Amino acid sequence: MPGMGEAVRAEELRVSDVERSAVQERLRRAVGHGQLDLTEFDERARAVWAARTRGELDWVTRDLPEPPPPPPPAPRHRVFSDGAGGTTMRVLSTVWLSLVAVNVVVWTLVSFVSDGAVHPWFVWFAPSGAVLAVLYATGIGRPRRSAP
């Protein structure tokens, strides 16, 4: 072994399979970003797995710029509770209340004009109102409270 007492330079250190895999992953990302074509990737991947030292690995990626950072994740929205304080629930409640109000007014007018008792058909809106109430009571659609 040449120079047993001498310090080994960083580029002469031997590499492991984990380091080779990391460099190959960087090459794969470079292909995804359009920095390499598939032929060049194949040549460089072969050189990565044939490399014995860190200097040889550095040579494979020397001309590649750092890939751009990944885009931030898209915000997740719930169906009945969006960030605007339960806008969806307010719209649904407004529509429901408007329909009930129109039906009560029409029922009242028909009741005054007719000779006999008129079935209160507006009670058929009760199940949908109950669904809205349960959603609101369980916190779905309720505006989120900001932390103090």
Model confidence pLDDT, tens digit, residues 28-38? 988 988 889 99
| Boundary residue ending a domain (39, 61, 83) | 61
| Helix-strand-coil split of the chain, %, nearest 5 | 55, 0, 40
Mean pLDDT across the chain: 82
Decide if pLDDT at 128 tops 70.
yes
User: Is 38 found in the same domain as 94?
Assistant: no
pLDDT (mean) for 38-56:
93
Q: Picking from 63-72, 107-116, 136-145, which range would have the lowest pLDDT averaged per residue? A: 136-145
Contact 58, 52 (CB under 8 A): no
List the domain range (segments joined by +) for residue 83: 75-148
Q: Assess whether 97 and 143 both reside in one domain.
A: yes
pLDDT value, residue 81: 43
Co-location of 83 and 22 in the same domain: no
Q: What is the pLDDT of residues 84-121, one digit of tens each?
A: 547 778 888 899 999 999 999 998 888 888 887 788 88
pLDDT on residue 82? 47
In a domain, 66, yes or no: no
Per-residue pLDDT at 25: 92
Q: Is residue 68 part of a domain?
A: no
Split into its structural domains, the chain has a count of 2
Can you read off the two tokens belonging to residue 9?
């330079």
